[in-house]
Homo-oligomer: A and B are copies of this chain.
Amino acid sequence: MSIFLTVVPVSEAVRVVRQIAVRADCETVPVAEARGRILGRDVQAPGEIPGFARSVVDGYAVIASDTAGASEAMPAMLTCTGRILMGEPAATPVRPGECRYIPTGGVLPAGADAAAMIEYSEAIGDEVLIRKPVAPGENVIRRGEDYPEGGVVLPAGTRIDARSMGVLAAAGCDRVTVAVPPRIGIISTGNELVPASAVPGPGQVRDANTYLCSGFVEEQGAIPVRYGIVRDDRASLAAALEHAVAECDIVFLSGGSSKDDRDMCADTIARFGEVLIHGIAIAPGKPTIIGTAAKKPVIGLPGHPASAFVVLHAIGTPLLAATTGENSRERTVPSVLGQNIPSAKGRQDYVRVRFKGDTVLPVFGKSGLLNTLVQSDGMVIVPAGREGLEPGERVEVYLW
């Protein structure tokens, strides 16, 4: 093999991982346990939400036209015909010249078309003075105003968060159909690696990538299965990969940072399947391998933690999204660059950045360093066609 990799653009790598992704099955789980899971189908409102017009204030249900022209000096005077109780519809309608006491969330009685706030009213026996006019619909949520019957409250592919959980409950779901979370096998390779608990000998380093990948997989709502450290020899690597693809849906192999080791990774993947890509025009992360083993996606990540993390976000995220059916949800926010970022044309640079004041600044540092990764808030992409970005340019920040 050549010492030069045949690199493909990031867009091509993303296309390939989407193609090799195996769509996860769905299962039904309690909403209480569904946070972070991916919705398997659209959820529709089973009826109008809310099912009746509700007051959003404490006050009086009124016919708006009865309050026309009301003021401090010349209040409208209405006869109060009782109280609305929470959770109970009114027995009788409100007629012209009447009002009904209504608590926040109470059912607007028939006849009434608005709610006057208690702060602008005064009760004197059965008579109520309304000191400020209300327009029809004022201080009221209409029947079906939140969602019409059959309206999609959450589309398939939504990642369920606290807000979604609230909306699901409102739509009558206490159980929900979600993608089965894929199991991701994680293998770290390298003769120089020792576990986190060991004291490294001369020339050895602790394996950071197992936990880095594991955390990433959890953040994506998938299940990490850690296989630990495997020595850089063909037999050990083949045994570990065969074991992992048998038990998992996807395998992340990290390490193989030198050319010889990368080639061994690629050869081992090819033994159980196919190497589709070996080299991506991404920096850091160029020596990434994409392939399949036993028809399951395998990603060979670079050994440097910061490189591995960039590739996890750039390539691992779309692979997992295609597996679970998650809607593309690259969490980017617009910002302005506070300092120039040099780059090489023809390569998509992923530059770690941190927010400072109103701008983002690049966090430069070798991809072997962890501290620059920890200090960054996310990354900015310098497109392959650009030789760099200038201060003052608008950029999209991909948040970690």
Whether A89 sits at the interface, judged by CB under 8 Å, is yes
Whether A392 sits at the interface, judged by CB under 8 Å, is no
| B166 touching A212, Cβ below 8 Å | yes
A336 to chain B, nearest CB (A): 8
Q: Mark A313-340, 1 if CB is under 8 A from B, else 0.
A: 0000000000000000000011100000
| B203 touching A400, Cβ below 8 Å | no
| A371 touching B146, Cβ below 8 Å | yes
| B374 touching A358, Cβ below 8 Å | no
A31 to chain B, nearest CB (A): 6
Whether A65 sits at the interface, judged by CB under 8 Å, is no
- A186-208, CB < 8 A from B: 190-193, 195-200, 202-208
| B258 touching A103, Cβ below 8 Å | yes
Whether A154 sits at the interface, judged by CB under 8 Å, is yes
Whether A167 sits at the interface, judged by CB under 8 Å, is yes
Q: By CB atoms of chain B within 10 A, which of A215, A219, A397 has the most?
A: A215
Whether A305 sits at the interface, judged by CB under 8 Å, is yes
| B196 touching A168, Cβ below 8 Å | yes
Chain B residue nearest in CB terms to A255: B105
A279 to chain B, nearest CB (A): 13
| A259 touching B118, Cβ below 8 Å | yes
A165 to B88, CA, bound (A): 53
A224 to chain B, nearest CB (A): 8
Q: A141-B369, A191-B87 are in contact. Are A166 and B209 (CB under 8 A)?
A: yes
Whether A227 sits at the interface, judged by CB under 8 Å, is no
Q: Which residues of B contact A79 (CB under 8 A)?
A: none
Whether A210 sits at the interface, judged by CB under 8 Å, is yes
Q: Told that A87-B204, A162-B309 touch, could you supply 15 new A-B pairs with CB distance under 8 A?
A: A32-B211, A51-B204, A52-B202, A58-B259, A86-B232, A89-B202, A107-B203, A146-B369, A146-B371, A163-B373, A166-B373, A167-B373, A168-B211, A169-B211, A335-B335
Q: Which A residues form the contact surface with B (CB < 8 A)? A: 3-4, 31-32, 35, 46, 49-52, 54, 56, 58, 85-89, 103-107, 118-119, 141, 145-147, 153-154, 160-174, 190-193, 195-200, 202-216, 218-219, 226, 232, 257-261, 303-305, 309, 333-335, 355, 357-359, 366-371, 373-374, 394, 397, 399-400
Question: Can you spell out 13 A-B residue pairs with CB atoms less than 8 angstroms apart?
Answer: A3-B118, A52-B203, A56-B367, A86-B191, A87-B203, A103-B259, A105-B190, A105-B368, A161-B219, A170-B206, A333-B355, A333-B399, A334-B358
